[in-house]
Structure 1
Amino acid sequence: MARPRDPQRRADLLDAIVEYLAEHGIAGLSLRPLAKALGHSTYVLTHHFATKDELVTAVLGHLDQVQRGRLNALSDGTGRAGLTGRPGLGEIIRASWEWHLAEDLRLVRLLHEIEGLAAAGRLSGPYVPKMLSDRADFVAGVLRAHGVPADAAHRRATLLNAAYAGLQTDYLTTGDRERAEAALDDLVALAESWTRPR
């Protein structure tokens, strides 16, 4: 009988895997070198992540959970990241941008690598489309909480996510932060216009 998975051990492994992938990328991912770098056997990895696809799915879930936690902290009025009261959409977008660029740029690069491989057809499986769909659902909820009508929230969340990710890609590719952030100002203005009385 197979030994049951230890959730805490799996979470610890996942943290280490994300760190490894943030450093080495995912395009050439192979379980044997990964296990060796982490100081484990491949059996330990396959015990917690039965296949490479399951491992990638878990990595994406972890990255998405980090982002959701950050968005929740920004949008619930806890005052974290220098925000006080209930921040507007523009404040949330700007604080998220600063957090990504200042604290977690390697994870942003990893996410974009995964999404790019999926878009190029080099990463099979439903996990990337599901992550993007889940992200749109989550951001739509944030938009609804900020007064965006329910019938428009999902459409606008998709637009907001795509534009934001595109600006990240532009900055990561060109290094032109000033131009990317000038465009971010326009995105913020658009998002804020969605909650103004008509």
Structure 2
Amino acid sequence: MTTSPRNSPRQKELLEAAYVYALRSGISDLSLRPLAEAIGSSPRVLLYLFGSKDGLIRALLARARADELDQIEMLAGEYAADEAVTSIARRLWRWLSDDARRGLAALWVESYARSVMEPDGPWGGFARETVSDWLELLAAGRPATGRGTAAAEAECTLVLAVLRGALLDLLATGDVARTTTAVHLQLDLLDGTRIHGDGVSDRP
């Protein structure tokens, strides 16, 4: 059986190299010529293997999401039974704010924004899928009886909004200490708040 050029070892090799390039340089203004030069290929070969520039971008986004899902699976495997969402969020923030993941975080944010602004482009669907992935991660540690309720969904959505907002600030300023303090402050406040099934919260 002949291996398709679009599912060949060479394509996978170039995709990995292009992904490393994207983590460093982003993909919003991706140009095939400098990318090809950086990874030891040519625009012609990239177009042959990926069909088009949009095809390459879609492949890079799929690769980024695969990386995201691998990390989610790893983090979820560390959860204790019935762990609070806020506890999960604290460990998730440590992971997100690590300097070693700055390029990956920037690529997610960039792709998220382009997905919102250009829903019919190669980024289409990326933002929605990312929201679902992270909400599932945050919900994974909740007691089974508390999952799927409106209150649980609201709590996870709030925590995700806090983490995403702090991540945007961190990427803009590089200030880990300040953003981490802010995240912990909000999570501490949430620890002291009970959210009812009707979405109303109060202090216990």
TM-score (normalised: structure 1): 0.75
Of residues 142, 148, 153, the one that matches 1:150 is 148
The answer to whether 1:57 aligns with 2:58 is yes
Residue 141 of structure 1 aligns with which residue? Answer: 136
SS in structure 1 at match of 2:125: helix
Distance verdict in 2 for CA 1:156–1:17, change over 3 Å: farther
Residue 45 of structure 2 aligns with which residue? Answer: 44
Distance verdict in 2 for CA 1:138–1:131, change over 3 Å: same
Q: How many residues align?
A: 188
CA drift at 1:117: 4.1
SS in structure 2 at match of 1:150: coil
Aligned equivalents of 2:41 and 2:26: distance in 1? 19
CA drift at 1:73: 1.3
Aligned residues of 1:170 and 1:180 also touching (Cα < 8 A): yes
CA drift at 1:185: 1.2
Aligned equivalents of 2:163 and 2:122: distance in 1? 20
AA partner of residue 169 (structure 1): L
Aligned residues of 2:11 and 2:49 also touching (Cα < 8 A): yes
Aligned equivalents of 1:105 and 1:162: distance in 2? 19
Residue 116 of structure 1 aligns with which residue? Answer: 113
AA partner of residue 133 (structure 1): R
AA partner of residue 149 (structure 1): R
CA drift at 1:40: 0.9
Gaps of 5+ in 1: 78-82
Aligned residues of 1:140 and 1:156 also touching (Cα < 8 A): no
RMSD: 3.2
Aligned equivalents of 2:191 and 2:19: distance in 1? 31
The answer to whether 1:101 aligns with 2:104 is no
Residue 172 of structure 2 aligns with which residue? Answer: 173
State the percentage of identical aligned residues.
Answer: 26
AA partner of residue 92 (structure 2): S
Distance verdict in 2 for CA 1:44–1:195, change over 3 Å: farther
SS in structure 2 at match of 1:46: helix
Aligned equivalents of 1:130 and 1:64: distance in 2? 11
Distance verdict in 2 for CA 1:160–1:132, change over 3 Å: farther
Of residues 65, 85, 89, the one that matches 1:89 is 85
Gaps of 5+ in 2: 197-203
Aligned residues of 1:89 and 1:188 also touching (Cα < 8 A): no
Residue 201 of structure 2 aligns with which residue? Answer: none
